[in-house]
Amino acid sequence: MLHPETLAALNLLASRTQGAVLEIGPYIGGSTIAIASATRGRVPFITIEHGGAHNHPTLPTQDTVADLKANLARVGLTDYVRILVGISREPAIKAQVAEALGGRKITLCMIDADGRVGLDIEAYQDLMAEDCVLVFDDYETRDEGNVKQSLVKSWVLEAERAGLVTRLGVLPWSTWFGVRGGHWGRALFRDY
Ligand SMILES: C[S@@+](CC[C@H](N)C(=O)[O-])C[C@H]1O[C@@H](n2cnc3c(N)ncnc32)[C@H](O)[C@@H]1O
């Protein structure tokens, strides 16, 4: 789950993005609705979810993809989201993403999945704009022993040191915002 301020930032970025949006890990649609309510078909928005049941303490689901679809329908956003069901790094899923992009580049990528952000970026970097805006949830460890969260932070710190990504900031509940490459100015201000 994302903090309301983080959802608002995601919504704003989605409303400005010029290429396409890729989301990995929509669950039942919190972040997906924040993005789709801004894009509304103006740019392609593709989300990848591997599905299944999840015993979440406050928002459990027996069928993630069915609940994602139901929630999008409830708010009238079904037509603005292409849902792909599978693991993000599967070649067949990547092929479907490429087809859905129709030659456009990903300019906003939101990852809130299994913590392996480095593998996802590696898988999709050739489909991303040079200055693609990146959003990764679970940046900081909130409780000891949560491997997913420390995986995100350790990859980001390495990538920042190597100049692969540049940090914009970390918003509440530990969602990292940044851009590909070594400078953030172009990505955010290109269209102003
Ligand atoms: C923390 S939840 C996402 C919460 C959601 N972003 C929100 O705003 O409510 C993580 C989701 O990512 C999915 N997931 C994890 N790893 C994945 C992967 N490699 N590919 C696709 N989906 C994945 C899980 O099934 C789960 O639904």
CATH number of the domain encompassing residue 169: 3.40.50.150
Distance of CA 65 to the CA centre of its chain: 16
**Burial group, residue 150, by CB count within 10 angstroms (0-12, 13-18, 19+):** middle
Q: Provide the domain count of the chain.
A: 1
| Closest ligand 1 atom to Cα of 88 | 20
Percent of the chain clearing pLDDT 90 (strictly above): 86
Q: pLDDT at position 150, please?
A: 77
- What pLDDT is stored for residue 182 in this prediction? 76
The per-residue pLDDT for 112 is 97
User: Six-digit token pair at 89?
Assistant: 């790094």
- Beta bridge partners, 176, equal 136, 170
Domain that holds residue 83: 4-189
pLDDT at 166: 94
Question: Do 184 and 178 form a contact (C-beta atoms < 8 A)?
Answer: yes
Atom of ligand 1 nearest to the CA of 87: 20
How far apart are the C-alpha atoms of 178 and 139, rounded to whole Å?
12
pLDDT (0 to 100) of residue 190: 54
Q: How high does pLDDT run on average in the chain?
A: 93
Length of the chain: 192
Please give the Cα distance from 54 to 188 (Å, whole number).
36
- Going from the C-alpha of 38 to that of each of 81, 157, 191, the distances in angstroms are 11, 30, 16
**Ligand 1 center from residue 49 Cα (angstroms):** 6
Q: Would you tell me how many other CB atoms lie within 10 Å of the CB of residue 186?
A: 12
Name the residue of 50, 87, 122 to mutate for ligand 1: max ligand atoms within 8 A of Cβ: 50
Which residues does the chain have with pLDDT short of 70?
142-149, 183-192
Does residue 115's CB lie within 6 angstroms of at least one atom of ligand 1?
Answer: no
Q: How far is the CA of 158 from the centre of ligand 1 (A)?
A: 23
Nearest C-alpha neighbor of 65 from the set 51, 77, 80, 55:
51
What pLDDT, on the 0 to 100 scale, is given for residue 141?
Answer: 72
